[in-house]
Structure formats: C-alpha cells, structure tokens
Amino acid sequence: MMRLGRTSYRYATTAAATAAVAALAFALVVDASFAEIAAGVAIFLFGMRAIETGFAAFAGGALETLLKRSTRGPWRSIVFGVVTTSITQSSGLVSVITISFLSAGLIDLAAGIGVVFGANLGTTSGAWLIAAFGLKVDIAAWAMPMLALGLVLTMHPARAAKGAGNILAGMGFLFLAISFMKEGFEVFHDGIDLSAIDTHGLQAVLLFVAFGALATVIMQSSHATLLLILTALASGQIGAEGAIALAIGANIGTTVTAAIGSLSANVDGKRLAAAHLFFNLVTGGIVIATLGPTVRAVAWLAARLGLGGDPTLELALFHTLFNGLGVLLLTPLIPRMVPVLQRLLPAPPEPGLKPRFLTPATEAFPETLRRALRQELIRLYDNAVEIMAHGLHLHRHVLFGPEPLETAVEKQTDLIVIDLDSQYAERVETLSAAILGAIVRARKTTPEEAELLRSYREACLGIVACVKETKHLRPDLTLYARHDNADIRAPYNALRCLIGNALRAIGQLRAEPAEHRDTLEMEALRVRFAQADPVASGELDTLLREGRITPRMGMSLMNDLRYTRSIVWALGDIGRILFGEAEATHSAAERALGLSDADISRLARGPQ
C-alpha cells in the first residue's frame, strides 16, 4: 500500500510539473511580452547565481577583509550601503548583491540588514539626480560590454580573474534582465494616467501607495516610478500628498526585487529580504499616519534650505528624510531583529540522510553510544554499497546474486544512470559527518574504548573514501566497460569484479552467524587483486608494446588500478570492523595476523 501511495504521489507530482511546464511553454509562445518578462526573471536568477559564484571565489581573500571592515557594526554597514547604492544607482542591485554576500558567508545577517538600510537611504540620491538634472542612466546599455568582458575573464586560469568575470557577467545579466522586464511591461507604463485618480482621503492615499508599489514591481525600478511621479508632480497631475504616497509605494515595491533575489538565496537571504520589507512598511506606515504634518514639515524645511517652490526637489527632500527617518528609528533595533527573523524564518533542515540511532540520549552512555555508532555505520555502509554498485554499473540483484560476477558482468549490456555527486551529498555526507562528530565528542574511558572508536572512525572514513573513489573510477569504467576493444574492456571489467566481489564477500560475512565469521578470509580479496594486477604481471606493458591499447588507455588503467586497490583494501578493513570480532582483544588478535604486502605478493605468485 505504502509503495502504491508513494508511486501515485510521484506520478501526481510529475503530472503537475509537466502541466506547469506545458502551460508556461504555451504562454511563452502566445504572448511575446510574457515571454520577455519570463526571460527577464530567468536571466535575473541566473545573474544572481553567477554573482554568488564570483563572490565565493574571493572568500577568504582581500574582498572578505574589505567587506568585514566596511560592515563592522551597523553604522559602518549603513555607510557602505549608502555609498554603494549612490554609485550603482540601484538599491535593488545592492540588496541582491548583499544577499549573495550573505549566501556566500562573507557577511553576517546584522551587517546585511545594515547594508540594506543604507541602500534605502542611498537610493534617494537618484531622486535628487532625477529632480535636479532629469538624469536617467540606461543600465541595459552596460549589460552587453559587461557580459562580454565577464565571459572573457571567466576563461582566465587565475581564480580571482574568474571570480571577477563571474561577478561582471552576473551584473550584466541583472542589468539585461531588468531591461527585459521593463520592455515586457511597457504596455503598463504607456497606460498609466495619474490624473485620473482622486487623491483625497486615507483610502486614496493607500491606493497611491499600492499604485507606486505595483508600478515599481512591474518596472523593477524605483527610479522609473520616481521619474513618473516627478513628471506628474511637475505637470500638476498630482499634489504633494499623492506624490509622497506614491514614493512610499515605490520604496515598498523595491523590496520585491530583493524578494526575487532571495528566491535562489539561502535562508539568510530570505531573512534580509524580510528585514527590507519591514523597514519600508514601518517607515511608510509612520509617514502615512502623519501625512499632513509631514508634508508641512517638508515644505518648511525646503523653504529654509532654499528649495521652496520646486515641488520635485521637495519630493527628493522628502524621499531622503523618509528613508533617513527609517534608518534612525530602526538601526538600534537591528540586534533585536536578528533573533526575531531567525525564529520567524528558521533554517531548513540540512538535506541528506540523518542519523537514526545517534541521539543526545544514546551519546550519554558509552555502551549505547557504541551500539548506536555501529548501527549508523552499517546504515552508512548499506547506502554506500548501493551508490558504489550503481556507480560500477552493477545492479544489486546481480551483485548479490548466485551467478559468478565475471560471467554476469560480461552479460550485462545496460549502463546505469546515476548522479554520484548528489547521491553522495544526500546519502553519505550528512550521516558520515554526524558519525564522526559523535566519535569526536565521545569520552574515551579505557584504551579498549579508544581503540574501538578509532576503528569506527577508520570505517567511517573508509566508506566515504570508497564512494569518492568509485566516483573517480566511473568515467573510465563507463567508457571502457562496453568498449569494442576487448584488450581494454577485459581489465576494466576485472576491476568491476574485484570491487563487486569484495562487496559480495562482505555480504556473505554478514550472513554468517557471528561465531563462524572469519574476517581474515577477506584478505583473499587482496591476494586476488595482486593476482589480477596487470602492472605487476607485466601484462599492461605487453598490451602497450604491442599497440593493443593506446598509451592514454594505459594511463587511465594504471590510475584506476590505484583507486581499485584503495577500495578493495578499505573494504577489507570495513568488513572486519563492522562485522568481525567486537571484543577488543580478539579484534586486536585478528589485526595482528593480518597479511603484509610481502605476504600478499608471495601468495599471489602461488606455490613456488
């Protein structure tokens, strides 16, 4: 039933995903402006990833030092935000970059909030520029040279140049994305007529706020909205109150840019986007509640500063005061905001296989800890076996079936598709880290206990190494296991058999009653490896000399033999530790009788 339920769920999710993709494809085909907006969103998210990758390349270097210095304490972070936004003229971009700093772990959340608050203040410089000079920077014009230069830099071998290239290309993508979105929404821009809206009463003010936010979301730029507001204000379409409400809305609208940016960011990025929204909602709320006195106060201050008479400069002044007020009010609250945001937006559980037996309760007592560690190691091993088997293109029913592997491998015609990196991350990484953590934390009361824990650590690291080495082996195995040239196919299939037989031997060892288990027998696998080693036997030299395999094939085989040897040796130890003698003295005696390399070579040569 459970199996059926899961299968139905899988079909339902696949069907839903297919339907969504089909609907998206249909919309992309029939509506050109939707296609442009969708392309804009996709390019935006792609740009975000490129910037994150770029900044990660600088982690630990000069950038980290500069960022750390510039964001030490909330006020420094604010100054950093003000300066960078004034230079780039985009608070959205600075928010997005700050989210990528956070995701890359270059700054902490409190510093990020400071930068975003500062960005809000810095963006008001744009209102001054528009109001004073009517200047509008066409950022899309910068996108192409940035992309071209960025791409060239990513091809550079130096890590810093690659990082700079990714950042540059990422920014180019962001600019390009904003331009795409603007073009896609041009129809909305053309249809806007502010004079048609009545500006009286709270309802109208809230409508203006919503309108300002919507326009900014649509155009992805508060500067564009401000330009619209200033034009309407200058032409007398709206009054000061309406313009202020629209400007508040524009500020709230910019948070959506950061929210889109936070979609592909980690949880800290989402917390930062939430802090950004909180800043604009609180500041906007205060100003809306005191709109009448605010308008009069701004007019009074503008007259004192010699700006009176120009409503656009008055609006620019309001914009600065509005954001300045928010910074002054909310900056002291940053240390309190951090824990609240962490509680409201908790970190998602780490992906991957979790420990089932290791808990604080089992870790409290040596006996339960030992038992739990062994059970977790066996779980880890079972997961690793499946990954390794599929990595070697061996189905488990073949691996643990009755047929000799040498015959089964030759018969098998299909190759198994598996992403070893994601399998490792999901099924090995988290669990192995938890096991090692518990071993490190454990109290070692006796030498025997210390020895047992040491052997468990060895098994854990061995399992991890086996999976990683299988990953290294897989590309050549995939290439040569079905190769037309039998002289390269045979040794590669022999490698698959060597590892497969080691896994099979451990399976047989587990199946035996504990008192009959002979872990020393596992050493026959090492002798078998030595017998099959074409380097030691000189067979590889012959194949190369006679031109039956290429030097490149020979080099691959030599490397892969090393991986195979390492896996076979590790599996021998893992089998002994997990399924052999648990009692310390007996276990030590087993180890004492282990075969040396010289013993193995002698046995491999056979009776003289």
Partner 1 sequence: MKTRKIIEVLDGLLGGERTKRTRRERAVQDLLEKLADKEEKILERLAGPLDADEIAHLNLKLQVNRAHQDKARAALDSWARTGETPPPEAG
Q: Which residues bind partner 1 (CB under 8 A)?
A: 404, 406, 518, 520-521, 523-524, 527-528, 531, 585-586, 588-596, 599, 603, 606-607
DSSP 426: I
Q: Is residue 564 classed as helix, strand or coil in its secondary structure?
A: helix
Shortest CB 583 distance to partner 1, Å: 8
AA identity, residue 225 = T
Shortest CB 607 distance to partner 1, Å: 8
Q: Is the dihedral of CA 36, 41, 42, 46 positive or negative?
A: positive
Helix intervals (H) in 59-90: 62-70, 74-88
Nearer to partner 1, 203 or 596 (CB): 596
Shortest CB 557 distance to partner 1, Å: 23
Nearer to partner 1, 43 or 568 (CB): 568
Nearer to partner 1, 85 or 587 (CB): 587
Nearer to partner 1, 190 or 597 (CB): 597
* Cβ contact 493:410 at 8 Å: yes
> How would you class 340 by CB atoms within 10 Å of its CB: exposed for 0-12, middle for 13-18, buried for 19 or more?
middle
Tokens of 437: 């953590």
Shortest CB 605 distance to partner 1, Å: 11
Shortest CB 163 distance to partner 1, Å: 46
DSSP 354: P
Nearer to partner 1, 349 or 606 (CB): 606
Shortest CB 602 distance to partner 1, Å: 8
* Cβ contact 311:229 at 8 Å: no
State the helix-helix crossing angle for 430-441 and 447-480, rounded to 10 degrees.
160
Shortest CB 159 distance to partner 1, Å: 42
* Cβ contact 297:269 at 8 Å: no
Q: How far is CA 497 from CA 93, 98, 151, 206, 359, in A?
A: 55, 52, 45, 73, 38
DSSP 390-412: HHTT--HHHHTSSS-HHHHHHH-
Q: CA-to-CA distance for 257 and 123, rounded, in angstroms? A: 14
Nearer to partner 1, 427 or 517 (CB): 517
Shortest CB 524 distance to partner 1, Å: 4
Q: CA-to-CA distance for 1 and 102, rounded, in angstroms? A: 44
Nearer to partner 1, 248 or 506 (CB): 506
Nearer to partner 1, 504 or 548 (CB): 504
Nearer to partner 1, 358 or 503 (CB): 503
Shortest CB 103 distance to partner 1, Å: 46
The H or E element that residue 501 is part of is helix 486-511
